[in-house]
Structure 1
Amino acid sequence: MQMLKRFICALIVFFSSGLMAQQLVVEVTQGVDSPVPVAVAPFSWAGESALAEDVAAIVSQNLGRSGFFRSMNRQNMLSFPDREEQVFFRDWRMMNQDYLVIGRIQPHSGDEVKITFELYDVLKEQRLLTREVSAGRNNLRDAAHFISDVVFEELTGIKGAFSTRIVYVTSDSRDAQNRRYRLHMADWDGERSRTVLESNEPILSPAWSFDGSKLAYVSFETTRPVIYIQHLATGQREQIQSFPGLNGAPAWSPDGNKLAMVLSKDGNPEIYVLDLRTRALDRMTQNSAIDTEPFWSPDGRSLFFTSDRGGSPQIYRMDLASRAVERVTYEGSYNARGRLTQDGRFLTMVHRGSSRRFQIAVQDLKSGRLDILTNSDYDESPSIAPNGSIVMYATQDNGRGILAAVSLDGRIRFNMPIPQGDVREPAWSPFLK
């Protein structure tokens, strides 16, 4: 248990979504040196008609695809216990399992079921936790992700993010002249994917509100860039003030009341902040250089952005109270598209150094240390899991855009290849209620 908790930068399984009926496939390319063996026995079901989802199988897949755990194939299990008295630890030790998850599902009230699950340390012959969760029979996948989060946090000390979602943009060609763009949203594992927006024109820069209820993005559906806000629960969307020239790179403030963006309405790309309650627009930068890609500090007191005011693209921080600007990145000739972990300590970015490759890097803002996380040539659009352990990004595979992810310590990597089309512009959701 304590050994596991030392792996602070463990992977949280990432999900993918499908293009039309096609599904992104999580392909672990690099994990920790010795993934921890865990067995998830099939959960018993006391009802009559079959359930639509295999909850235990989803939990096992979540943990196994993380690159941090190695899930046991249930075909190799000697028994399927669902209560403590049925657990024979010697059997699980003989099969080299460190941890065991068991569970039972019972009809509850109406369409709901009650799921009781337990986690055991096989080597210590000790029960680590027992929990109950209620779920509708149509929401068993949510329950499975919740169980995975609980188990993951108990074993690693890191809050699980299996219940989160991502959005991303795909494009595919129907012929030489026509491309189709889609903004997708799905669970982490690619299930329940849906198309948020479909257009013949590009879709860029999707951004989650901090409460996970809304998306902001840029659409060219009117042939010019316009920022929209979409309410995910209702599907309703609204167009933000549209000005001549560039309207781009929306970024939500932590309180959800403001939107930072890039506008060129006065001639040069500058950072502005729009108050969504009053519609008051506040210009934040005024420089002959290009200022773009704003993002907020978690406490809402600072605004970070990319600028070439120093001669090359670098990341800067503005204190919103004083409007004082300081340069944050110095190493390398190019640092852009920054994102912060929720504790505000680590800054991820697209970095170009002496190798001249565009790679994902992370900088510790406390020590100033910068580490290169990826080894490909054209990486872009990093987005951080809400627990701060994994960076998702877009990259190239045989000339085609795919999604990939890497842990903040660089030890775990995985790809999400898609059968056809290009996928770009990923954005990871916050923790969802």
Structure 2
Amino acid sequence: MMTQNNERQSSSPVRRSLLAALIASPTIPALAQFRVEVSGVGLTQLPIAVAPFKGDAQAPQRIGAIVQADLERSGQFRAVDASGPQLDETARPDLTLWRQRTADSLVTGSIMRLTDGRFDVRFRLWDVVRGTDLGGQSYAVTQGDLRLAAHRIADFIYEKLTGEKGVFSTRLVYVTKAANRYNLWVADADGENAQSALTSPEPIISPAWSPTGGQIAYVSFESRKPVVYVHEVSTGRRRLIANFRGSNSAPAWSPDGRTLAVTLSRDGGSQLYTIDANGGEARRLTQSAGIDTEPVYSADGRNIYFVSDRGGAPQIYRMPAQGGNAERVTFTGGYNISPALSPDGRWLAYISRINGAFKLQVLELATGNAVSITDSSADENPSFAPNGKLIIYASQQQGREALMTTTLDGKIKARLAGQGGDIREPDWGPFVGP
């Protein structure tokens, strides 16, 4: 039988709603700047040159560098040497030169401060091979939105060249602990521009974005027991969702945003329930003799995947979203937790304990084939990007916890880490806005 206080003691338990606790960790500066370190080589990366934007050197943010880092981190692009004269969006570049540098695509642009204090950001994308102009856009933004403008440029480029929607202007949520305070952060998809949504002297765990990106559900221990809240990101207002007797944990949103699946121990052992997203009475879904926890809805809302030790050790199961018979999904390994589903329903990411190491796995649901895609040993809490092309997870690097992203094949990884970094509980937000 799995107990509620023995899981994963060898590393930070973080999203372990089974534990209802967090292990103390090193401090982190409140607004530590992140650096993106990309490693690995993909099989079909597109060579792209991002020329220095005109005015970039005098701007508060280096737009071109942010765009290039976004594209590299996606695993779909390889940066080509773009040194030389600055090229703005009005220039007609010598595409022969860029062909000689083996670039398939070229990005040019400019940034200029307007008289009202805002910044005018413009760019153009060129197909170097065909010699064609693929279009561009312009943004008039405040200094605080310069990074967002850069991310939207990267989204435009990504979609034009891959046919898939980019995720660079989406957001992350994660948790840190500094001294005796816990922080819930909302940040850009590259980990930068972190804004504190909540601070508490007691642990905060299991943050989960609502389907529209306007709210975050999480578990707070501020009343000295785990209680589920929903937090409005724009206003900071929050509402109490589940504060029943015993433990209230592991919130997961239904795709329509109307319901939360939660783990409650109010009737004895930890079991799955659903509750209205505005609060109210909970409806029980599972009736097992074991611990059922970590629910997650399928994208179509028909099924809930969850972790249960009903078979003697933690494994991932699937059942109808309204309750009913559960079928086991994971069969490789004796300890599998923390399920995350890709938006297209094709892939299941989870954490498996292998020879004492906790490793990120990706399982193709149609075939049941599972592959370990990391060489680290303390992975936790995977979450898919909204386009399904990347997974964010927490791991340990040089003894500290850090955010990592990886392509689904594990070939391209990027570290999003503060210099003193110890970062936990990432959840990747949905597509929002234009």
Same fold (TM over 0.5): yes
Structure 1 residues 290 and 79: CA distance shift in structure 2, 3 A: closer
Q: Contact 1:31/1:413 (CA < 8 Å) preserved in 2?
A: no
Residue 224 (1) aligns with residue 212 (2): no
Which residue number corresponds to residue 21 of structure 1? 31
Which residue number corresponds to residue 57 of structure 1? 65
The CA deviation string for residues 166-203 of structure 1, in whole angstroms up to 9 with x for no partner, is 11111233xxxxx3221111112333211111122111
The CA deviation string for residues 342-384 of structure 1, in whole angstroms up to 9 with x for no partner, is 111111101134x442211011111111111112222111111
Q: Contact 1:402/1:416 (CA < 8 Å) preserved in 2?
A: yes
Amino acid at match of 2:174: Y
2:142 is aligned, of 120, 125, 137, to 137
Which residue number corresponds to residue 30 of structure 1? 40
Q: What are structure 2's unaligned runs of at least 5 residues?
A: 1-27
- Structure 1 residue 36 displacement after superposition: 3.6
Moved more, 218-227 or 278-287: 278-287
Question: For 1:81-160, what aligned pairs fall within 5 Å after superposition?
Answer: 81-83=88-90, 86-104=92-110, 115-127=121-133, 129-138=134-143, 139-160=145-166
* Alignment TM-score, normalising by the size of structure 1: 0.86
Residue 258 (1) aligns with residue 268 (2): no
Q: What are structure 1's unaligned runs of at least 5 residues?
A: 1-17, 174-178
Distance 1:214 1:67 in 2: 29
Q: Contact 2:122/2:138 (CA < 8 Å) preserved in 1?
A: yes
- Structure 1 residue 110 displacement after superposition: 6.8
Distance 2:399 2:139 in 1: 46
Matched residue SS, 1:159: coil
- Structure 1 residue 277 displacement after superposition: 4.8
Which residue number corresponds to residue 12 of structure 1? none
Residue 329 (1) aligns with residue 330 (2): yes
Moved more, 156-165 or 275-284: 275-284
Distance 1:248 1:321 in 2: 19
Identity of aligned residues (%): 43
- Structure 1 residue 405 displacement after superposition: 2.1
Which residue number corresponds to residue 11 of structure 1? none
Structure 1 residues 326 and 169: CA distance shift in structure 2, 3 A: same
Residue 369 (1) aligns with residue 372 (2): no
Q: Contact 1:52/1:137 (CA < 8 Å) preserved in 2?
A: no
Amino acid at match of 1:55: I
Q: Contact 1:78/1:91 (CA < 8 Å) preserved in 2?
A: no
Which residue number corresponds to residue 71 of structure 1? 79
The CA deviation string for residues 81-131 of structure 1, in whole angstroms up to 9 with x for no partner, is 5335x211122223332211123567899777665532212233222x213
Structure 1 residues 311 and 351: CA distance shift in structure 2, 3 A: same
Distance 1:276 1:35 in 2: 42
Matched residue SS, 1:93: helix
- Structure 1 residue 78 displacement after superposition: 4.4
Distance 1:100 1:389 in 2: 23
Q: Contact 2:241/2:278 (CA < 8 Å) preserved in 1?
A: no
Q: Contact 1:172/1:421 (CA < 8 Å) preserved in 2?
A: no
Q: Contact 2:67/2:150 (CA < 8 Å) preserved in 1?
A: yes
Moved more, 286-295 or 367-376: 367-376
Residue 194 (1) aligns with residue 202 (2): no
Matched residue SS, 1:153: helix
Q: Contact 2:73/2:413 (CA < 8 Å) preserved in 1?
A: no
- Structure 1 residue 136 displacement after superposition: 2.5
Which residue number corresponds to residue 21 of structure 2? none
Matched residue SS, 1:240: strand
Which residue number corresponds to residue 387 of structure 1? 387
